[in-house]
Amino acid sequence: TGARRATVVSNQHKDISVILFSEKVVKERTLEMGRELAADFAEKQPLIIGTLNGAFVFMADLVRAIDPLPDGLQMDFLRASSYIGASTTGEEAVSLGLVSKVPISGRHILLVEDIIDTGKTLQELCARLKSQGAASVSTVTLLDKSARRQVDLQPDYKGFECPDEFVVGYGLDYNEHYRSLPYIGVLRPECYS
């Protein structure tokens, strides 16, 4: 057995062809974004809404990085899905369960996404939140596959530009697999065909 390391280095899963964003890189970027959000939302009593299931890991790390804690910050989750089950193409209609216990009206909303692909999910979510009377809707995504955008939408905050590959880990899944990997990697095509 070798010497102990100061930081944990994850073993690469056999189904992952390449690690795009390591645990360490994701952590550093998340801390940076948290500080930026803390400053931008300091006076806004933000309501932070994470989209399930994919954003749950990012949300957990991001909200703890929002330091100092803005007065009145609250958080909730909602479920949005642009495809169903074992698909990697996102061809299905967007279906949303948007039932927030916390009233939206008059609030400054920060929507937290794992990844933006065509942009249809986020566009629909923003429209619905505005129609429920949000004072403002800002968006933060960990990953942006901007090459695949089909609607005119840019996130207000983004962690990383993502190449046009199917990626998993750090909350992102294929058919509910791989969400628990602590890094973001490209899934070998033979694992989904």
Nearest to 115 by CA among 152, 67, 75, 147: 147
Closest contact distance (angstroms) between CB of 2 and Mg ion is: 36
Contact pattern from residue 69 through residue 98 relative to Mg ion, giving x for each residue in contact according to CB under 5 A and a dash for the rest: ------------------------------
Q: At what angle do helices 23-40 and 56-65 cross, to 10 degrees?
A: 60
**Per CB under 6 A, 192 contacts ligand XMP:** no
Count residues binding Mg ion (CB under 5 A).
Answer: 2
Q: How far apart are CA 20 and CA 187, in angstroms?
A: 11
**Per CB under 6 A, 117 contacts ligand XMP:** yes
Partner from ligand XMP, Mg ion, none contacting 182, C-beta within 5 to 8 A by type: none
- Nearest CB to ligand XMP, comparing residues 73 and 129: 129
**Which helix (H) or strand (E) is 137 found in, with range?**
strand 136-144
What Cα–Cα distance (Å) separates residue 9 from each residue in 5, 22, 24, 41? 8, 9, 9, 33
Contact pattern from residue 124 through residue 163 relative to ligand XMP, giving x for each residue in contact according to CB under 6 A and a dash for the rest: ---------------------x------------------
Q: Is 117 a catalytic residue?
A: yes
Contact 65, 34 (CB under 8 A): yes
Query: What are the residues binding ligand XMP (CB under 6 A)?
Result: 54, 82, 90, 114-122, 145, 166-168, 172-173
